[in-house]
Every structure is written in structure tokens, then in C-alpha cells.
Amino acid sequence: MFEYAPAPESRSIVTIEPTYGLFIDGSFVEGKGTFKTVNPASEEVLAEVAMAAPEDVDRAVAAARRAFGPWSALPGAERAKYLFRIARIIQERSRELAVLESLDNGKPIKESRDVDLPLVAAHFFYYAGWADKLAYAGFGPDPKPLGVAGQVIPWNFPLLMLAWKIAPALAAGNTVVLKPAETTPLSALFFADVCRQADLPPGVVNIITGAGDTGRYLVEHPEVDKVAFTGSTEVGRQIARSVAGTGKKLTLELGGKAANIVFDDAPIDQAVEGIVNGIFFNQGHVCCAGSRLLVQESIAEPLLDSLKRRMATLRVGDPLDKNTDIGAINSRAQLEKITELSEIGSSEGAERWSPPCSLPDRGFWFAPTIFTGVTQAHRIAREEIFGPVLSVLTFRTPDEAIEKANNTPYGLSAGIWTEKGSRILAVADKLRAGVVWANTFNKFDPTSPFGGYKESGYGREGGRHGLEAYLA
Ligand code: NDP
């Protein structure tokens, strides 16, 4: 492995205020209490953030309700101008945002800079293009917005999940109250400032920070017409129960346990890159991560040798270093969950391997890990670990691969590696997964719908399909 000199991005690019309020009706206002957000790579407190109490949620929803009439009455081309403006400001300020995201989330700067931020801007550009063409989206000649959208997002892609939620909602003429995750509120609060810079009318976007209870109060609020949630299946279930019978429209994007299937005719080096990208991208905090590797038995040995060699070159450490491949685990709680499930993997008889790597003393870290000898009964083959941990299973025939791939309560994504186009089509057709990648993995595009089957949730985000969730 080459020794690289450290190449840290400058932290001073972004200004972090010591305290942040709630963004309601175009202004930052105080909440009832505060909580701290920390840098998971150092455990240093980054800022104190307001905790929204139920009355704050009421205020935010009321502001969104007031803004809805004028916003939805604007011609689509006028709404599009705001979205274009937001997209351009995000591009202009993307360096600040990338540093902020890496500081608050722990993800490597090369990912926040080269993946998250370009995709965030692309989502706003893409949905700006739809705003004046809603009548041609395939949902009737005169589709109408729903009203106030209550949106709750997780910590793994804080700004990207915000873009997935807010861009289609605004394009369709809805107004928004969004709650970011407790451990990663800063980029959403920065986005509030972007809205002000874009002169977005007050109340169209409201950002309320807080814990799970704030999210629960928001989604249960009677004045919310549409709920969009990304997060754990457990919380998704609770939300589905609370929304049932209320007439609110609901989209849920939940967990996954994706199979990445490698056939014996796959080009091994490319497949190894795809496996590494599938499970170690964003520390494995990815709902569609390729967390189960299904490899054809005849090539298991050379493929695993190759994978281990590649894993030994992954650099774990400072998220702001441009050479870093794997950053910090987002929180102590998530680190404990990954650690616990990995220990269960060993105790159930799977064989654990990590390359030698030294982890920083402070912060939350987990070395890239693979488990071989995994069977379908193992918990690490069934449960979402949401960390840099890969479970390796083998198969002999395509039918066995399909059966194992589908043997999961989830159905969000899958990958297929083979040289044969006919096999790609035949296998993809039988996989019960919302997204199937062929000879690639973790590729995202705003024009492409994303969503799951079974316990991975329902509804689609992205593309023309993503508009449907925000139109009546
Ligand atoms: P949660 O599902 O608890 O959190 C997602 C969002 O929902 C956060 O903003 C959270 O707020 C909020 N929330 C929590 N409880 C409620 C509620 N009752 N009603 C409304 N909103 C609520 O995920 P965790 O962060 O607890 O992660 C747990 C596990 O979930 C992970 O280990 C991973 O397996 C999975 N996960 C999956 C994700 C995906 O993209 N599919 C994303 C994140 C996690 P707060 O942050 O304040 O708790």
C-alpha cells in the first residue's frame, strides 16, 4: 500500500454557529430546549441545536399551511425558478456544505464532495424541470398538490435525503416541515439559510430539529396532509400505524439487506470494486448497501482473496482527509449496534476477518469486516447491520442464488455481476427488489425511481414516479 501524506480539507471553509434555532416561517426562532450535535470522528461538540416541542411543531405546520395557498397558486414556471436558484446556490456553496456534512456525519469528504453534493444539486435541478410540466407527468391533466408535507429523514445522507424529500414536494406545489435526524441536523439548518438566500417565500420550507418524539408529533399532526419517512423499519411501522385511516398520503423508505450476486463468469476485479463500493461506501450506512455477498462457489476462493487484498488498501480515518475511504461511524449508539451484531456473527459460527488497520483513539470507528461461512439462519445474514460489515454466502446455481437473494424480509436493492446480458435480465426479473444494479452498485440518479418491497417500505422517490407521492 502506498503511503499518502495527509491531505485534509480545511475546516475553516464553513462557519458553524455555536447555537441554532428552529427555522419557522422564514426565520430562526428559539425552541424549548437544546441538544448538542457532535463530530463523530472526534466527539467534539459542534453546536447546540434547538429542541422542537409540540407547540413549535404546531407553529411550523401552521406556517406551512399559511404558505401553501400562495405557493401552490404560483405558476409552475415560477416555482421552478426558486428550485433552480436553490440548486445553483447549493452548487456555489457545495464546498462549505461538503465540509459541514463530513463534520456532522463522519462520512469521508471525497464522498460528501463527489457524491452527496452533486446529487443534491441534481435533484433540485431535475425537479425544477418538472414544476411547469406536472400535467404531462402521467397523473392526470390537472394534478393538484396535497398541502403540507411532514418529512422525517435519517442521518446517513442528511442533505441528500432532504433533497429527495423537499425538491419533489416543492415542485408539485406543496409546502414542507422537515425534521432531520438528531445526530446530523447541521446541513438541514444550512439549507434553511440557502432558502433565505434564494428568497423562498417564508413558510414554504420549515426545518424543525429534535428527537424521535418531535418526528412522531410531526407525522401525527392533524394538519399534515402527506408524510414521507426514511429510516428504520421499526419506526416506519409505527408511522404506518399512526397514519392509517387518517387519509394522509404516506411514503416509507426503510431498511434493506441487499444481495450482491457474483456469477462465475463475472470479471473479478470489477466485481471486487463493486462489492467494496456496495458495502463500504458511507461506512455501510446505506439502506441499499450490498450487505450480503452471494458468490458462486467455484470462484469463491479467488474472489475472496482478491477482496481481502483490496480491503487491505482501504484507508480508515479522518473524514476530512481527501485520501480517506472509510470515515467515522455516525454515533456511539450505531457503533454499539454494529459491534453487537458482529459479535453475534462470531458466536453463531461465522468466520470474521478484517485487514490490519489502526483506528483513531477518539471518535466512533469500525474496521471494514467480512464474515465468511455465513448461513441463511445467521442473524448477520438476516438483519440490517448498517455498518461496514459484509456477510458472505455461496451458491451453486442461478436458481439457488435467486432463492437466497429473495430470502429476506426486505426488498430494496440487489446487484448482479456476470458477463451475460441474458442472465442479467433473467435474474433481475426474478429478484424481488426495487432497484437491481447490473455490473455496478450504488449508482443514483434523480431521474431514476428508488424504493422497496416488503419491509423496505412503499412508494417511490426520484424520477417522474417521485412526483406521484406529492400529487392528488
Ligand atoms: P430511526 O428510524 O429511529 O430514525 C430515522 C428518523 O426518524 C430520525 O429523524 C429520527 O429522529 C426519527 N424518528 C425516530 N422515532 C420516530 C417516531 N416514532 N416517529 C417519527 N420519527 C421518528 O433510525 P435510527 O437512527 O434509530 O437507526 C436505527 C437503525 O435504523 C439503524 O441501525 C439502521 O439499521 C436503520 N436505519 C435505516 C435507514 C435507511 O435509510 N433505511 C436510515 C437510518 C437508520 P432522531 O434522529 O431524533 O431519533
The radius of gyration of the chain from alpha carbons, rounded to an integer in Å, stands at 22
Q: Count Cβ atoms within 10 A of the Cβ of residue 429 and give its class: 0-12 exposed, 13-18 middle, 19 or more buried.
A: exposed
Q: What is the pLDDT of residue 404?
A: 98
Query: What residues are in contact with ligand 1 under a 6 Å CB criterion?
Result: 152-156, 179, 181-182, 211-212, 215-216, 219, 230-232, 235, 238-239, 254-255, 287, 334, 337, 384, 386
Name the percent of the chain in helix, strand, coil, to the closest 5: 45, 20, 40
- pLDDT beyond 70 at 137: yes
Averaged over 407-415, what is the pLDDT?
A: 97
Neighbouring-strand partners of residue 222:
none
pLDDT tens digits for 453-463?
Answer: 999 999 999 99
Number of the ligand 1 atom closest to the C-alpha atom of 218: 20
Q: Count Cβ atoms within 10 A of the Cβ of residue 12 and give its class: 0-12 exposed, 13-18 middle, 19 or more buried.
A: exposed
- Residue 149 contacts residue 109 (beta carbons within 8 Å): no
Confidence of residue 134 (pLDDT cuts 50, 70, 90): very high
Q: What is the pLDDT of residue 239?
A: 98
Pocket probe for ligand 1: among 152, 165, 243, the residue whose CB has the most ligand atoms within 8 Å is: 152
Q: What is the pLDDT of residue 407?
A: 97
Averaged over 99-117, what is the pLDDT?
A: 98
- Residue 40 contacts residue 186 (beta carbons within 8 Å): no
Pocket probe for ligand 1: among 207, 227, 234, 235, the residue whose CB has the most ligand atoms within 8 Å is: 235
pLDDT tens digits for 177-199?
Answer: 999 999 999 999 999 999 999 99
Q: What is the pLDDT of residue 234?
A: 96
Q: Count Cβ atoms within 10 A of the Cβ of residue 189 and give its class: 0-12 exposed, 13-18 middle, 19 or more buried.
A: buried
List the single range of 2-6, 205-209, 233-237 with lowest mean pLDDT: 2-6
List the catalytic residue out of 182, 195, 287, 288.
287
Averaged over 96-104, what is the pLDDT?
A: 98
List the catalytic residue out of 253, 383, 461, 468.
253
Active site residue 461: no
How far apart are the CA of 262 and the centre of ligand 1, in A?
A: 31
How far apart are the CA of 261 and the centre of ligand 1, in A?
A: 28
Whether the predicted model's global pTM rises above the 0.95 cut: yes
Averaged over 336-352, what is the pLDDT?
A: 98
Averaged over 370-380, what is the pLDDT?
A: 97
Active site residue 195: no
Q: What is the pLDDT of residue 3?
A: 80
- pLDDT beyond 70 at 67: yes
- pLDDT beyond 80 at 420: yes
Confidence of residue 1 (pLDDT cuts 50, 70, 90): low
pLDDT tens digits for 237-277?
Answer: 999 999 999 999 999 999 999 999 999 999 999 999 999 99
Pocket probe for ligand 1: among 36, 209, 232, 248, the residue whose CB has the most ligand atoms within 8 Å is: 232
Ligand 1 atom 18: residue of nearest CA: 216
pLDDT mean across residues, the chain: 97
Which H helix or E strand runs over 354? none
Q: What is the pLDDT of residue 171?
A: 98
How far apart are the CA of 234 and the centre of ligand 1, in A?
A: 8
